[in-house]
Amino acid sequence: MPKQFTVEQANSTLPLVRRIVEDIVVQYRRWQERIREFEVVTANSTAERPAPRAEELQREAQALASEIEGFVGELTELGLEFKGYDLGLVDFPTEVAGRPAYLCWKLGEPSVAYWHEIGAGYAARQPINPRAVA
């Protein structure tokens, strides 16, 4: 059974979670840049005329992907679910009115202030009612 967080527990982890998510979002943008550059570089290359920079870009992209995977693993070890590379979205397992749910936080928010049903996702976020959340 996954760890369940109270609002207070979720907020107390935010300094660490924020740093990890910031790293993910920054490295994800760098990874996207390398992939775009790789696509441009390789668009005109052939087997007879390989693009010299392509191999270097591929190595850089793989290294960034590995680093991102490590950061996501750190969040998983904390009991969290990382949900969005662009927004820096993180879900904290919890219980609302006796049902499994998620406390929802995204990079830039000062605290954990929203929740949503397990299957609902970010679009269905609603403000936390402290009396209803575990």
pLDDT digits (tens, 9 = 90+) for 111-133: 999 999 998 888 889 999 866 56
First to last CA, the chain: 16
**pLDDT tens track for 23-71:** 999 999 999 999 999 999 888 777 777 778 888 999 999 999 999 999 9
- Cα dihedral angle (32, 33, 34, 36), rounded to 10 degrees? 80
Q: Give how many domains the chain has, as a whole number.
A: 1
The CA distance from 70 to 26, in Å, is: 14
* Domain boundaries, position 8: 1-134
- Helix H or strand E segment including 126: strand 126-127
Report residue 81's pLDDT band, with 50, 70 and 90 as the boundaries. very high
The position carrying tokens 């290359």 is 45
